[in-house]
Amino acid sequence: MAQLIQTSVAERQTATAKPNRAAHFVIGMLSPSIVIILFVVAFPLIYSFYLSFTSFNLLRPSTTWNNFANYQRLLQDPIFGQAFINTLLFMFVTINAAFLIGLFLSQIIARTARGQSALRTLLMVPMMFAPVMVGFQFRWFFNDQVGLVNNVLTSLGLLQGSIPWLVDRWLAMFAIGVATVWMNTPIVAIILLAGTLSISPELYEAADVDGANSWQKFRAITYPLLGPFITIALTILSLDVARGFDIVSIMTGGGPAHRTELLWTYVPRVAIQDSKFAQGAAMSFVTVIVTLGFTVYLFRQLLKSRIL
């Protein structure tokens, strides 16, 4: 911190201008945020990292060191492997689906002539839903007995009997995915819509003169100019990806029979229900690394697009 340089002001006022005052200011402005994040995020993570090397559990809270036993057990646990793969698949598919659908919505809304701002307001509605409530709502929609989806399919004569949406592994993953994408798409659409509307109409007029069709205009003008907006949208998506936990835990709870188990549902199952806290801590550490790896990748892009 001592070698602080104030980007513009101090530099231009010759380097001797009160570097100390600026340093104190920077430290003072940053430390409240850093302290609270250390207390709420870093400290618990370190604590649970430590516990993941012990035999700690909620019934017998002794911290006997047992090396890598918990991590070895993870490698031998087929359900953990399954949950790991499910989680990666889930994050990859829902982020991409939310992005593509959001992009599509933003493009069609940008072309509407009537009530564009009303449409934008409507888009915000899913953002106000608590993720828990999204979970409950879609659990009911996909319920095989009374749910709206089967009910409508039956009424339309498309279905006899019922589809076991939340029982079959892939159907259940699909249903959870639909709920998650429903919750996450609007923010993408809103940001990309703002981006699309910020593009100068003259560019499109010039393209019209050259006889470009809609797809060519999208490829050559809209998409490249949306670049920074896309990064913002993907960053928000990746930061909130773990909110999917609320939805999964309510719609299926990882079941039936671990079919839709994600790391987020398997950790509390092991740590609380089976009261193997240390085992759960080891697992949650792997979860953190997977999630953060995903986010770091997207952040790299963000940092690159910025002059720091």
Options 34-42, 163-171, 200-208, 212-220: segment touching another protein (CB under 8 A): 34-42
Chosen residue from 254, 264, 276, 279 binding another protein by CB under 8 A: 264
Question: Residue from 166, 173, 267, 282 that binds another protein (CB under 8 A)?
Answer: 267
Integer CA distances (angstroms), 184 to 76, 154, 208, 211, in order: 34, 29, 34, 36
- Residue from 54, 238, 252, 279 in contact with another protein (CB under 8 A): 238
| Token code pair at residue 264 | 């987020």
CA atoms of 298 and 235, how far apart (whole Å): 6
Q: Please report how close the Cβ of residue 56 comes to another protein at its closest, in angstroms.
A: 9
Q: Is 154 in the site for another protein (CB under 8 A)?
A: yes
* Contact residue for another protein among 15, 89, 100, 130 (CB under 8 A): 130
Structure tokens at 239: 């930061």
Residue recorded with tokens 């029979």 = 257
Stretch that binds another protein, among 25-33, 63-71, 163-171, 215-223 (CB under 8 A): 25-33
The DSSP call for residue 18 is: -
Identify the CA nearest to 70 among candidates 60, 80, 82, 58. Answer: 80
Least Cβ distance, residue 164 to another protein (angstroms): 17
Among 68, 92, 140, 297, binds another protein (CB under 8 A): 140
The only residue of 63, 200, 292, 297 in contact with another protein, by rule CB under 8 A? 292
Q: Is the peptide bond before 256 cis (omega within 30 degrees of 0)?
A: yes
| 178, HSE (Cβ side, Cα atoms, 13 Å) | 14
Stretch that binds another protein, among 5-13, 74-82, 167-175, 209-217 (CB under 8 A): 5-13
Tell which one of 14, 33, 62, 160 touches another protein (CB under 8 A).
Answer: 33
Contact with another protein (CB under 8 A) among 134, 172, 173, 176:
134
Q: Which stretch binds another protein (CB under 8 A): 64-72, 166-174, 209-217, 260-268?
A: 260-268
Instruction: Please count the residues of this chain forming the interface with another protein, following the rule CB under 8 A.
Output: 106
Q: Does 62 bind another protein (CB under 8 A)?
A: no
Q: CA end-to-end span of the chain, whole Å?
A: 16
Note whether 121 binds another protein by CB under 8 A: yes
Burial classification of residue 276, based on how many CB atoms lie within 10 Å of its CB (0-12 exposed, 13-18 middle, 19 or more buried): buried
Per-residue buried b or exposed e for 227-257, using 16+ beta carbons within 10 Å of the residue's own CB: eebbbbbbbebbeebbbbbbbbbbbbebeee
Contact 183, 129 (CB under 8 A): yes
Q: How far is the CB of 213 from another protein (least distance, A)?
A: 14
Q: Which of residues 74-103 bind another protein (CB under 8 A)?
A: none
Residue in 221, 242, 251, 282 binding another protein, rule: CB under 8 A: 242
**Which amino acid would we find at residue 245?**
F
Q: How many CA atoms lie within 13 A of 63 on its CB side?
A: 8
- State which of positions 183-212 bind another protein (CB under 8 A): 190-191, 194-195, 198
